[in-house]
């Protein structure tokens, strides 16, 4: 058989031991903070029924879903018409609908696109077993059939925290605290941007275009990247009247202190109930945060939009201040995500940390602690069968004391064994030959400084115990 070149699918990656140690460091920090705030873990399957996933992420999202081909002869039961259509209908629209029809028949499962929608499904399915408000965290990979580029992968890990079954704004505050705690622990300076969908709805209402909410937000979101001219162009393109745009512009360029933004917007929203409600919510959250004194900066940013269609209240996005990377954490409140699965009136709020992007940023800024680099702390050199037996007992003692340790598997040349320790960055080596066995004093070498001394097993254990 011909040898095939090993490879993995586009946008996926292997992680070597070094990378995994660092990734686990991130997961550990995140998990610990989640737990401290009283969240509990769940997991859901990598694949969901397509009916669960479709239509939850907007039109774009549907296209980015990885679909799983049915097992068996998936062409069975497919109407002849689908194949017959091929020749006769060639225009693009028909191809589209034919594809949609075909997909529905040959694929009924898909890989999850995020953790929030599966969570909503989970909550509805297990509603009778859960205690509400239900606080859960979930750290698992998700998949998107996107084109890979900087900070964008087809398989990546999300770390979600959500609470469902309460509309208390205390949870918004709690999530901001979680963000602050995690990034502080990771040593990453971030900006927490906050906004509220109701504020955005209020803006659309106040400029007389309530039906254009999505168009307005999508365009607005690009303000810092594209600039006012481009945003205006896009708004025109999306069918907004000049009058509306004129009203919108002063709001978009709103700068300065949070207090001033509130004053301007309160006046702006005098006829918009939803806008005022959004402002009220924002005010509550921001006052709490101000009082709590977070380590990281936060800001009320009305240009923050966030695409996912299910958000209804607060929206949150976090950016690293010292690295060029998209958002590394985002989320918001969704008032009725469970409604579609038959459980209405269940408000939830949650955020998602993008582990892979956080990794890239920490790596770029050299923020991974040195101490996590090596796993094994001490290596026993192997001098032969007798010595082996002797060392195995000492090894068991060290391991029982919680010291990661190992023995070289054969009595190879010392050079080779030392090199092994060196390359694995094992900080200490114990040499136990016949001399040492007789005297009971082991040769203990520090690989970093190069110095070595004779010690008893007890002394070594003490040195290695922190």
Determine which helix (DSSP H) or strand (DSSP E) holds 157, and give its type and residue range: strand 155-164
**By C-alpha distance, which of 139, 129, 114 is closest to 43?**
139
Q: How far apart are CA 213 and CA 32, in angstroms?
A: 38
Binding mask 34-63 for RNA (x = CB under 7 A): ------------------------x-xx-x
Give the number of residues in contact with RNA, rule: CB under 7 A.
65
450 interacts with RNA by CB under 7 A? yes
Whole-angstrom distance, CA of residue 95 vs CA of residue 290: 55
Tell the smallest beta-carbon distance from residue 390 to RNA (Å).
12
For 128, half-sphere exposure in the C-beta direction (CA atoms, 13 angstrom radius) is 0
Residue 276 has phi, psi (to 5 degrees) of: -65, -40
Cα–Cα distance for residue pair 289/418, rounded to 1 Å: 54
**Measured from the CB atom, is 156 or 269 closer to RNA?**
156
Q: Applying CB under 7 A, does 10 fall inside the site for RNA?
A: yes
Return d(Cα 139, Cα 443) in angstroms, integer: 44
CB neighbour list of residue 198: distance below 8 Å, 6 or more residues apart: 274, 275, 277, 278, 281, 312, 313
Q: C-beta of 438: minimal distance to RNA in Å?
A: 9
Backbone angles phi, psi at 299, to 5 degrees: -150, 150
Nearer to RNA, 238 or 283 (CB): 238
Residues 205-264 that bind RNA (CB under 7 A): 218, 221-222, 225-226
Segment lying near RNA (by CB under 7 A), choices 91-99, 126-134, 145-153, 173-181: 145-153
List 94, 146, 233, 322, residue binding RNA (CB under 7 A) = 146
CA dihedral 420, 424, 425, 431 (to 10 degrees): -40
Q: Which of 7, 71, 90, 366 binds RNA (CB under 7 A)?
A: 7
Looking at 48, 62, 137, 158, which residue binds RNA (CB under 7 A)?
158
Question: Which residues within the stretch 177-206 sit at the binding site for RNA (CB under 7 A)?
Answer: none
Contact call for residue 436 and RNA (CB under 7 A): yes
- Is residue 452 close enough to count as binding RNA by CB under 7 A? yes
By C-alpha distance, which of 285, 281, 336 is closest to 309? 336
Name the residues that contact RNA, by CB under 7 A.
Answer: 3, 5, 7, 9-12, 58, 60-61, 63-64, 114, 144, 146-154, 156, 158, 218, 221-222, 225-226, 306-308, 326-330, 352, 354, 356-357, 383, 413-416, 418-419, 421-423, 429, 431, 433-436, 443, 445, 447-450, 452
């Amino acid at each position: 058989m011909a040898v095939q070149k090993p490879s993995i699918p586009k946008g996926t990656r292997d992680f070597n031991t070094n990378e995994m140690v660092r990734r686990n460091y991130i997961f550990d920090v995140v998990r610990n903070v989640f737990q401290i705030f009283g969240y509990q873990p769940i997991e859901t399957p990598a694949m969901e029924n397509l009916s669960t996933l479709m239509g939850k992420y907007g039109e774009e999202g549907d296209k980015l879903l990885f679909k799983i081909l049915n097992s068996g002869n998936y062409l069975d039961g497919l109407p002849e018409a689908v194949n017959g259509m091929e020749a006769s209908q060639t225009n693009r629209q028909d191809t589209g609908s034919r594809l949609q029809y075909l997909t529905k028949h040959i694929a009924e499962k898909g890989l999850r696109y995020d953790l929030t929608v599966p969570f909503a499904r989970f909550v509805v399915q297990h509603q009778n077993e859960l205690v509400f408000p239900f606080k859960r965290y979930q750290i698992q990979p998700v998949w998107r059939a996107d084109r890979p580029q900087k900070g964008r992968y087809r398989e990546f890990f999300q770390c979600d925290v959500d609470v469902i079954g309460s509309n208390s704004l205390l949870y918004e505050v709690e999530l901001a605290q979680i963000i602050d705690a995690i990034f502080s622990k990771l040593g990453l300076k971030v900006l927490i941007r906050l906004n509220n969908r109701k504020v955005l709805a209020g803006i659309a209402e106040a400029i007389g275009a309530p039906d254009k909410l999505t168009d307005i937000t999508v365009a607005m979101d690009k303000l810092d990247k594209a600039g006012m001219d481009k945003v205006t162009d896009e708004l025109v393109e999306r069918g907004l009247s000049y009058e509306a745009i004129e009203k919108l512009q002063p709001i978009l360029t709103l700068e300065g202190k949070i207090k001033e933004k509130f004053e301007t917007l309160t006046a702006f929203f005098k006829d918009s109930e939803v806008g005022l409600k959004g402002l009220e919510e924002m005010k509550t959250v921001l006052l709490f945060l101000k009082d709590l004194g977070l380590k990281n900066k936060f800001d009320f940013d009305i240009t923050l939009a966030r695409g996912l269609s299910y958000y209804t209240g607060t929206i949150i996005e976090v950016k690293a201040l010292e690295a060029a990377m998209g958002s590394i954490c985002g989320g918001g409140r969704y008032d009725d995500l469970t409604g579609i699965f038959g459980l209405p009136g269940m408000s939830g709020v949650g955020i998602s940390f993008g582990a892979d992007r956080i990794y890239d940023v920490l790596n770029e800024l050299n923020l991974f602690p040195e101490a996590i680099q090596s796993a094994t702390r001490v290596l026993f050199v192997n001098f032969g069968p007798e010595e082996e037996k002797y060392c195995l007992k000492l090894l068991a003692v060290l391991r029982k004391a919680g010291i990661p340790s190992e023995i070289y598997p054969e009595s190879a040349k010392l050079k080779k064994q030392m090199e092994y320790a060196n390359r694995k960055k094992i900080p200490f080596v114990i040499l136990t030959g016949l001399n040492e066995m007789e005297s009971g004093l082991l040769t203990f070498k520090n690989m970093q400084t190069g110095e070595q001394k004779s010690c008893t097993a007890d002394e070594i254990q003490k040195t290695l115990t922190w």
